[in-house]
């Protein structure tokens, strides 16, 4: 989840002479369905809403289309925020069963600190409840204090820490025989044996939508899904060991086999990995990224 928010009150300003009260004019906020916008316009609003963020994003139409497909975004439930009739932010909503996810939310810089984030979040939560959903989840950068305060103020609770990791120029590894398998096989195993409350992007339902250039591999009872192996930097998206073989070092051997099979590559793990699962990665030399995330959830 990407979230960039600025929250503060507006309202009444007191002049120094104390003789008069001057009311500050507040903007008029409203929302429109994201279906009312073509993808280039949505990509532009996305980019402007993340200007000055911890990780500024230059969103392109192909990248946005990939996010919509991968994360199961429902554009009919997603919203563009209007301030005095002009686009001022957005919220992308993904939906599965009784749960929705705030997949991305941002406010254009000129409207931060003016109640825009609070208004938009309130609308998204209200509409989710009106649809009959039982809860919403999200991820937020742990260093984004204002966004966390907004979400906690609305009723979201922290579930766990999510960690990103990096390994550049890894040492040579002894080759092992990896078997390439269908990504859907790994997705089914995640659904059966993965954590019941995995982040949305790591769930079996999400992984089942992946297709080449993603690749999936098996080594004994261990499985992994990686991004395009032809890229300069490869991301490990999934690392799973069947329950009967856990605590035998199979996850570590799988990571070593991946490094050996794709030499002279840099490696990265996005900050969506539960902290309690990263030990095999750290054992082979991955180091934690500076930015991490909180997985958060709200039940209605």
Q: Is the pLDDT of residue 10 over 50?
A: no
For residue 277, the model assigns a pLDDT of: 97
Residue 89: closest CA among 109, 110, 64, 107: 107
Alpha-carbon distances of 228 from 133, 263, 265, 277, 295, rounded to whole Å? 35, 14, 11, 23, 26
- The class (CATH top level) of 165-296 is alpha beta
Tens digits of per-residue pLDDT, 225-243? 999 999 999 999 999 999 9
Kindly indicate the confidence band of residue 2, based on its pLDDT and cuts at 50, 70 and 90: low
For residue 172, the model assigns a pLDDT of: 84
Q: Is the pLDDT of residue 6 over 90?
A: no
Tens digits of per-residue pLDDT, 250-264? 999 999 999 999 999
Burial class from Cβ neighbours inside 10 Å (0-12, 13-18, 19+) for residue 116 reads buried
Tens digits of per-residue pLDDT, 254-299? 999 999 999 999 999 999 999 999 999 999 999 999 999 999 999 9
Q: For 38-52, what is the mean pLDDT?
A: 97
Cβ neighbors of 219 (< 8 A, separation 6 or more) are: 176, 177, 178, 179, 250, 253, 254, 257
Tens digits of per-residue pLDDT, 138-197? 999 999 999 999 999 999 999 999 999 999 999 888 888 999 999 999 999 999 999 999
Residues of the chain with CATH 3.40.630.30: 2-155, 165-296
Q: For 106-127, what is the mean pLDDT?
A: 97
Percent of residues in the chain assigned helix, strand, coil, to nearest 5: 30, 30, 35
Kindly indicate the confidence band of residue 96, based on its pLDDT and cuts at 50, 70 and 90: very high
For residue 3, the model assigns a pLDDT of: 60
For residue 72, the model assigns a pLDDT of: 94
Q: For 134-141, what is the mean pLDDT?
A: 98
CATH architecture assignment, domain 2-155: 3-Layer(aba) Sandwich (3.40)
Q: Is the pLDDT of residue 11 over 90?
A: no
CB atoms within 10 A of CB 174: 9
Mean pLDDT score across all residues of the chain = 92
Q: Is the pLDDT of residue 125 over 60?
A: yes
């Amino acid at each position: 989840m990407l979230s960039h928010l600025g929250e503060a009150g507006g309202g009444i300003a007191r002049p120094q002479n104390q003789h008069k009260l001057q009311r500050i004019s507040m903007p008029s906020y409203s929302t429109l369905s994201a279906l009312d916008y073509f993808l280039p316009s949505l990509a532009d609003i996305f980019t402007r809403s993340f200007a000055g963020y911890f990780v500024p994003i230059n969103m392109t139409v192909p990248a946005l289309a990939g996010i919509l497909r991968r994360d199961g975004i429902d554009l009919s439930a997603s919203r563009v925020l209007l301030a005095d009739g002009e686009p001022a932010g957005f919220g992308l909503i993904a939906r599965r069963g009784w749960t929705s996810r705030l997949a991305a939310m941002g406010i254009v810089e000129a409207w931060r600190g003016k109640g825009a984030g609070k208004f938009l979040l309130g609308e998204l939560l209200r509409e989710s409840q009106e649809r009959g959903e039982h809860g919403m989840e999200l991820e937020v950068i742990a260093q984004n204090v204002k966004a966390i305060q907004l979400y906690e103020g609305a009723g979201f609770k922290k579930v766990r820490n999510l960690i990103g990791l990096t390994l550049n120029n890894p040492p040579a590894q002894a080759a092992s025989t990896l078997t390439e398998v269908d990504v859907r096989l790994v997705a089914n195993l995640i659904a059966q044996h993965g954590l019941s409350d995995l982040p949305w992007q790591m769930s079996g339902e999400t992984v089942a939508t992946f297709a080449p250039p993603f690749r999936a591999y098996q080594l004994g009872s261990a499985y992994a899904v990686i991004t395009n192996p032809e890229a300069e930097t490869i991301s490990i998206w999934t690392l799973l060991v069947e329950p009967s073989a856990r605590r035998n070092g199979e996850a570590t051997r799988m990571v070593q086999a991946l490094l050996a099979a794709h030499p002279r590559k840099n490696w990265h793990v996005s900050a969506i990995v539960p902290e309690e699962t990263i030990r095999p990665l750290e054992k082979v030399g991955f180091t934690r990224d500076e930015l991490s995330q909180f997985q958060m959830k709200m039940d209605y």
